[in-house]
Amino acid sequence: MSDNNPFSGSFGGNAGQYAQSVQYGGAGDRAKVSLGEAPAAAELIKNTTTATFAADVIQESRRQPVLVDFWAPWCGPCKQLTPQLEKAVKAAGGKVKLVKMNIDDHPSIAGQLGIQSIPAVIAFKDGQPVDGFMGAIPESQIAQFIQKVGGKGGGGVPQITDALAAAAEAREAGDVQTAADIYDAILEQAPETVEAIAGLGEILFEAGDAEGAEAVLAKAPEEKKDAPALGALRAKMTLAAEAAALGNPAEFERRLAANPNDHQARFDLAMVQNARGEKTQAADNLLAIVKADRTWNDDGARAQLLKFFEAWGMTDEATLAARRKLSSLLFS
């Protein structure tokens, strides 16, 4: 992309002079990002000011590449480009950082860099601007630009692995929008990535968009449709649909209070509990049926418990605990 670099003239002039004239006090005070470690999404993207530009961009670019997005509130193309940049940077899994500068509030640095129109993006490495582009370009070109500036890191697989780790971290922190953006960006570059398909599908399903989750699952390549992660999501969706059709759980509890041996009521209650995320209670109710009457409904309670295990994942704590209890019942 540097062959058509609109900033090539200024990089050897005012920009270089600016980068060399900045004072870098306290360079050792900030923690370095370890190789192969995907930083949290919040650490990858930030706003900067004239006062903090040296630390946020010049100093930081000596550790890893930094993209600077020059924008303004009145700029229509900026509103299109900035979200795409954020999404691509998150998907890169820590290969680059993004720093955003509002030129209305902080015009001096844009002037020193010779920027005459926005949106404009400049990549900094080792304290110097090295590449850039102007205008709102397609997402595919943004991804190529980031790959070029940030390096392939040994190929596409490590980059995807880092991005998946960043998405998982975002989900754990409750930032599902960031996680969804990362999964979406991964799938644009590598549409066969099962973990991203499953992750995005789960986010949509948990948000109440079962139709959207189905659409994501449908895009899985034929040879990967039976992958465990996708099977677990399908099982979870099927169980939720079955539970929704059962009715009011209070009715099942009333029936059980009147007759603890009403296995159908206990079974239906377990289905509803699972849909509500009450895994332990759901498993315990099915285990109670297995203990009381293994033959009920053609061993239906045990069979349903195995479906729960598939939906929860074989390494889930609830699965492991319930499997131990089931083994104790069957083999004691």
Q: Which helix (H) or strand (E) holds 254?
A: helix 249-258
Residue 112, domain member (yes or no): yes
Residues 6+ apart with CB under 8 A from 41: 90, 166, 169, 170, 175, 178, 182
**Domain final residue, candidates 168, 195, 225:** 225
pLDDT at 76 over 90: yes
Active site residue 78: yes
296 assigned to some structural domain: yes
Q: Does residue 141 share a domain with residue 46?
A: yes
Q: Would you list the DSSP string of 96-151?
A: -EEEEEETTT--HHHHHTT--SSSEEEEEETTEEEEEEES---HHHHHHHHHHHH-
230 flagged as catalytic: no
* pLDDT higher than 70, residue 59: yes
Same domain, 20 and 140: yes
- Chain Cα centroid distance, residue 123: 24
Q: Residues 139, 160: one domain?
A: no
Residue with tokens 């860099």: 113
| 211 in the same domain as 116 | no
Q: Please, what is the average pLDDT of the chain?
A: 82
Domain boundary among 96, 115, 150: 150
Which pLDDT does position 153 carry in this prediction? 45
Residue range 240-287, pLDDT digits in tens = 887 777 878 899 999 999 999 999 999 999 999 988 889 999 999 999
For residues 12 and 133, state if they share a domain: yes
Instruction: Specify whether 38 is located in the same domain as 81.
Output: yes
Shared domain check, 324 and 285: yes
Distance between CA atoms of 151 and 147, rounded to whole angstroms?
5
Q: Is the separation of the CB atoms in 282 and 270 below 8 Å?
A: yes
- Candidates 75, 137, 180, 197; catalytic one: 75
Lowest mean pLDDT among 30-44, 54-68, 316-330: 30-44
Give the sheet arrangement for strand 128-134, strand by strand: 45-47, 97-102, 66-71, 120-125, 128-134
Query: Same domain for 7 and 140?
Result: yes
Question: Side-chain half-sphere of 80: how many Cα atoms within 13 Å?
Answer: 12
Average pLDDT over residues 304-314: 88
Q: Which of 100, 115, 150 is a domain's end point?
A: 150
Do 163 and 193 share a domain, yes or no?
yes
DSSP-assigned letter for residue 68 = E
pTM above 0.85, yes or no: no
Give the pLDDT band (50/70/90) at residue 157: low
In a domain, 231, yes or no: no
Could you tell me if residue 167 is inside a domain?
A: yes
Kindly report the CATH number assigned to the domain that includes residue 182. 1.25.40.10
Query: Which residue type sits at 305?
Result: L
| 27 and 127 part of one domain | yes
CB 311 within 8 A of CB 235: yes
Neighbours of 94 (CB within 10 A): 26
Token pair in block for residue 149: 């500036």
Does a structural domain hold residue 230? no
Do 209 and 101 lie in a common domain?
Answer: no
Across the range 128-134, mean pLDDT stands at 87
Question: How high is the pLDDT of residue 2?
Answer: 40
pLDDT digits (tens, 9 = 90+) for 318-328: 999 999 999 88
How many structural domains is the chain composed of? 3
| Candidate list 54, 78, 243, 282, residue with the active-site label | 78
Residue 58 burial (C-beta neighbours within 10 Å; 0-12, 13-18, 19+): buried
Task: Kindly state whether residues 7 and 44 are assigned to the same domain.
Answer: yes
Amino acid at 255: R
Q: Please compute the mean of the pLDDT values over residues 159-168 and round it to a whole number.
A: 83
Pairing of strands 66-71, 45-47: unpaired
| CA 284/CA 278 separation, integer angstroms | 10
Answer whether residue 237 is part of any domain. no
d(CA 204, CA 309): 21
Q: Is residue 236 part of a domain?
A: no
Q: Which residues pair with 99 in a beta bridge?
A: 46, 68
The pLDDT assigned to 267 comes to: 96
CB 185 within 8 A of CB 88: yes
Is 118 inside a domain boundary? yes
**What is the spatial distance between Cα 321 and Cα 278, in angstroms, rounded to a whole number?**
14
Give the pLDDT score at 264.
Answer: 95
Query: What is the span of the domain harbouring residue 16?
Result: 2-150
